[in-house]
Amino acid sequence: MAGAPDVRGSGPAAGEQLQQQHVSCQVFPKRLAQGNPQQGFLSSFFTSNQKCQLRLLRTLETNPYVKLLLDAMKHSGCAVNKDRHFSCEDCNGNVSGGFDASTSQIVLCQNNIRNQAHMNRVVTHELIHAFDHCRAHVDWFTNLRHLACSEVRAANLSGDCSLVNEIFRFHFGLKQHHQTCVRDRATLSILAVRNISKEVAKNAVDEVFESCFNDYEPFGRIPHNKTYARYAHRDFQNRDRYYSNI
């Protein structure tokens, strides 16, 4: 994966200003450990870092969204290594994680990830950013449209806007509710990492929404739940075998 300028200290800790805890993105507000995770295996049993590491391992081994994304990354020439590309750290505010494009590393906020299901969503969301970083020349830092596009894709394909998650947020609706959720979540994620107005963030999302919402790679469909994700993973594996035999 390509490197990028390090702007980890830029912008406000916008996660503190958001009422709902949500998955952040890219270079999130402040990375306290600066890439050095707290190692607590000898200090006590099941420290926050240990819990984070164990949840991450379970996610990588069992979650169908993540297993597909890992295969897609490898297929695209960006194989993911657990020890190199993931880091469990304490984070400021309410952010849950972020993709640090300057180090090609996914940071997991061990002090904010509440349970296994939350870990699954965060890793999936950030791996979509990593996949976009691998397959395209994404200008995370100066092109707001690029950032907005990846946020739309992450909100759409990670399961973050699933019916169950929306019910837990007390958000209900019928017509085009999924699209509304994707727009809202993408806008929140942009605000968490950019010192811009909500109007500017919403406009960026609106400008790219149609094309980026309909970009389903590498899933081939919107995986509304784990069953859909398993089918998508099976289809991806079959497609990969087909092209390898041509």
Domain ranges in the chain are 48-227
Q: Which residue has the tokens 């020890």?
A: 83
CA 86/CA 107 separation, integer angstroms: 6
Structure tokens at 159: 């399961």
CA dihedral over 207, 213, 214, 217, signed as positive or negative: positive
Alpha-carbon span 53 to 48, nearest angstrom: 9
| CB environment 115-127: b (16+ within 10 A), e (fewer) | ebebbbbbbbbbb
Of the residues 126, 166, 210, 217, only one is catalytic, namely 126
Helical segments of 93-246, H only: 116-135, 144-157, 163-168, 177-193, 198-213, 226-244
Instruction: Give the CA angle between residues 39, 22, 193 to the nearest 5°.
Output: 80
Q: Taking the model in full, what pTM does it have? A: 0.79
- In the residue annotation, 126 being an active-site residue is answered as yes
pLDDT per residue rounded down to tens, the chain (246 residues): 333 323 233 333 333 333 333 443 344 445 554 544 444 444 456 799 999 999 999 999 999 999 999 999 999 999 999 999 999 999 988 889 999 999 999 999 999 999 999 999 999 999 999 999 999 889 999 999 999 999 999 999 998 887 665 455 555 665 578 899 999 999 999 999 999 999 999 999 999 999 999 999 999 999 988 999 999 999 999 876 645 555
Determine the longest span between alpha carbons in the chain, in angstroms.
54
Give pLDDT, residue 55.
Answer: 97
Which pLDDT does position 174 carry in this prediction?
56
